[in-house]
Structure 1
């Protein structure tokens, strides 16, 4: 990679200028501190987004399961299953089942 870097820098004066500037700035402790702070900020933001995405997925799955349970209860009732049997299979009480089928 060093050989490729040397070839690229010799052929591209803009790249050479950027590399020289980077080299000079990387020796400056205040620049390094600012760079590290920025890097930490970006990593923290990525972690927050990943956490929010995970929470969103969990919430979506819970809502989906709830909707599925509601559809199942309504289907059981529409197919003639008694409220007592629905309660037995779902773990809900009769009042909860009545609210669902309304």
Structure 2
């Protein structure tokens, strides 16, 4: 298990010898999709030590539990990605598997085991957990309760929570400053320096939150500057369909 800023990684090996990496990501980060692919590639590549043959490679499965909306084109919280033939839908290999679970998208009611786990990840109350009648989730909930009673673990949690709050505050300040400098100087005056300052200071996991007003105008400016529709959607939080309409007007 490895903990990073706003990230928890758990590496496991299943009974069928498949390797699974579970990542809990609290905040969005820049170019997250490429990062997911890179982590999967490392998980697969590291199996092939010196002297081993390709046939010894086992499936590498990456599960990403996200506390933010990542796939703008769909409403359901569960996304499964594999390699397949686009025409025939034939799966090329089961060795490549990516799973994404977006916590903010979970339904108010739970209908299956996966829904129940998602409610647990979102912070379900003890009453809700007991009503689920799922022993595995009850065990996980009781384990968390036990850990929370440990004064050392509690102190670490509070310190981490304070760090997260401070970081978000700093990012908000940097975002506002970056947007003001970057978009005012970059897009109004056409200066590369301003554009660079805006993105360097305002990017990472939250640039889109600074666009509460004027999203359409910002999207238009980004289109003029030849940004891709997908990147504009990530920056402005606008749906891809709306950006495509802007492009065609």
What TM-score, normalized by structure 1, do the two folds share? Answer: 0.53
On the 8 A contact 2:147/2:153 being kept in 1, the answer is yes
Cα drift, residue 19 of structure 1 = 1.0
Residues of 1 paired with 2:151 and 2:183: CA distance?
48
Residue number in structure 1 paired with 2:165: 43
Residues of 2 paired with 1:65 and 1:19: CA distance?
50
Structural RMSD (CA):
2.4
Max radius of gyration: which structure?
1
Residue number in structure 1 paired with 2:130: 6
Residue number in structure 2 paired with 1:55: 177
Residues of 1 paired with 2:172 and 2:135: CA distance?
40
Pair 1:34-2:156 in alignment: yes
Cα drift, residue 3 of structure 1 = 4.3
Report the count of equivalent residues.
66
Residues of 1 paired with 2:187 and 2:144: CA distance?
53
Q: 1:65 to 1:5 in 2, by over 3 A?
A: closer
Cα drift, residue 63 of structure 1 = 1.3
Cα drift, residue 53 of structure 1 = 0.6
Residues of 2 paired with 1:53 and 1:29: CA distance?
35
Flag structure 2 segments of 5+ consecutive residues without an equivalent: 1-124, 191-249
Cα drift, residue 66 of structure 1 = 6.5
1:82-93 matches, cutoff 5 A? none
What TM-score, normalized by structure 2, do the two folds share? Answer: 0.24
Structure (1 or 2) with the greater strand fraction = 2
Q: 1:27 to 1:2 in 2, by over 3 A?
A: closer
Cα drift, residue 65 of structure 1 = 8.5
Residues of 2 paired with 1:35 and 1:2: CA distance?
20
Structure (1 or 2) with the greater helix fraction = 1
Residues of 1 paired with 2:136 and 2:126: CA distance?
18
